[in-house]
Amino acid sequence: MARSLAACAFAALMCLPPALTAQTLRPSVSLGSGLVPVDPAASGGALLLAPRLDLVTRSIAFRAEGRFAWTALTAAGADVAVSAVIPGLHTGRFRFSGDVAGHATRFALGGAHGRALATGRAEFWSGDASAFAMLAAGGASNGPSSGALLRAGAGARSRRGRATFELAITSTRYAAGLALGAESTVIDTTFVNRQRRLLEGAAFEYTQADVRFGWRGPDWRLAIEAGGRLDDALHSRGAWAQAHAQKRIAAGIDVLASGGWAPSLPELRLESRPIASISLRFAPAREAASARPATNDDAVTHVLSLRGNTRRILIPHTGAHRVEIMADFTDWKAVGLRNNGDGWWTVELNIAPGHYNMNVRFDGGPWRVPAGLAPIRDDFDGWTGAIFIE
């Protein structure tokens, strides 16, 4: 199981905020190498390969991905490196998220060497608040955390403008989280996270806190994460930090880099240790397969149905620092959109089916007709865009 950490650095890169999810089929593959924790007694370089296929429709998001690492092991303390290309790690995960009976639902099945886990989660939204319940079952067959795992929990989320507050309680953990999104900047922090883990069958507890800052530009992303443990008798290093960067270097090609210190996991006998990796990610079909035009000159406003009456509005624009809409469904109050980082701005709102009028403005400028909507006179010497939501 410890080997699963070999993919941590790479996984962190893959966990950068996902790109815009429109109705699209998007395959991609990442190829890279780096210095990663591999084994409780060793660290070494690894060759990493991560193919991924995203399929997003109006109501479901499906992702199939694999992560494969071929590790050149170096025994700790040995003068001579013993290198071999071995299939050191295979992890797989199936994840489905979408609407079931009008409510957001997510299922995940995962497995790594000696470990399997199935989780289910259902979330019920009402306006800007939601409640969710989750159940996880699985087990590990090797390592000090061997044994069956059964975890149940519940929680709630509430959105207020750009802030999302979350409380979650499970049988092994309780946590409070806060996320703030402001255009191209995201702050995501878990300020209380009390966990109970098992070590050789004995329970121990600790408190963990972490914070994540993210910035996005038209063709780049940067994320910095930091965290630490408190009240942990097993802990030998209290803090950890990592930085992840992604930059588009050509159409369909991104370079990903990651570095820092991985969190220690004393229950797995893993100390905090440095990580570093650099990868190339290829997504050649992104533009070709997308339901959206590739450039803003051709792009039009989209509304995607998510769960129930929750809709994601997508406005195309590059170069703006602030994008706002106002419409029949916002009581004609300005609502800010979040920069998705790829020329699209998004916001999720609760909108019943119907016929609406909408305007958009960029950087506080005049109210305009959103791209692609039929422009109609608004009775007030201006124009508005008509949109029909099914």
Partner 1 sequence: MKSLVLVLAFASLATGAHAQDARLARLPADARNAVGEVIDSARVAGLPHEPLVQKALEGLSKGADGARIVGAVQRLADRLRMARATLGDGASETELVSAAAALYAGVEPDAIRRLTRPSPGASLALRLVVLADLIYLGVAHDTAAARINDLVTAGVRDEDYVTLRDRVRDDVRGGAEPGPATTLRVRALLTRSGG
Residues that bind partner 1 (CB under 8 A): 298, 300, 326, 328, 331-334, 353-355, 357, 367, 372, 374-376, 378-380, 382, 384, 386, 388, 390
Query: How many C-beta atoms lie closer than 10 Å to residue 69's C-beta?
Result: 26
| Closer by beta carbon to partner 1, 99 or else 378 | 378
In whole angstroms, the minimum distance from the beta carbon of 291 to partner 1 comes to 10
| Closer by beta carbon to partner 1, 78 or else 374 | 374
In whole angstroms, the minimum distance from the beta carbon of 162 to partner 1 comes to 20
Calpha distance 228→211 (Å, rounded): 10
Calpha distance 342→296 (Å, rounded): 10
In whole angstroms, the minimum distance from the beta carbon of 225 to partner 1 comes to 40
| Closer by beta carbon to partner 1, 27 or else 372 | 372
In whole angstroms, the minimum distance from the beta carbon of 388 to partner 1 comes to 4
In whole angstroms, the minimum distance from the beta carbon of 321 to partner 1 comes to 22
Longest dimension (CA), the chain: 81
| Closer by beta carbon to partner 1, 232 or else 324 | 324
Calpha distance 136→108 (Å, rounded): 9
| Closer by beta carbon to partner 1, 72 or else 349 | 349
| Closer by beta carbon to partner 1, 92 or else 375 | 375
Structure tokens at 224: 């910095």
Q: Which of 196, 278, 208 is nearest to 240 (CA)?
A: 208
Structure tokens at 303: 């509304």
Query: How many C-beta atoms lie closer than 10 Å to residue 76's C-beta?
Result: 11
| Closer by beta carbon to partner 1, 268 or else 358 | 358
Q: Which of 206, 352, 279, 309 is nearest to 33 (CA)?
A: 279
E strand or H helix at 213 = strand 202-216
Structure tokens at 48: 């990493």
In whole angstroms, the minimum distance from the beta carbon of 303 to partner 1 comes to 12
In whole angstroms, the minimum distance from the beta carbon of 385 to partner 1 comes to 9
In whole angstroms, the minimum distance from the beta carbon of 64 to partner 1 comes to 27
| Closer by beta carbon to partner 1, 155 or else 385 | 385
Beta carbons of 338 and 346 less than 8 angstroms apart = yes
| Closer by beta carbon to partner 1, 131 or else 303 | 303
Phi, psi of 44 (to 5 degrees): -175, 180
| Closer by beta carbon to partner 1, 298 or else 363 | 298
DSSP, residue by residue, 112-170: ETTEEEEEEEEEEEETTEEEEEEEEEEEESSSTT-EEEEEEEEEEEEEETTEEEEEEEE
Beta carbons of 384 and 375 less than 8 angstroms apart = yes
In whole angstroms, the minimum distance from the beta carbon of 226 to partner 1 comes to 42
In whole angstroms, the minimum distance from the beta carbon of 345 to partner 1 comes to 20
Q: Which long-range contacts (CB under 8 A, 24 or more apart) does 138-143 make?
A: 138/110, 139/115, 140/1, 140/114, 140/115, 141/114, 141/115, 142/1, 142/113, 142/114, 142/115, 143/1, 143/2, 143/114, 143/268
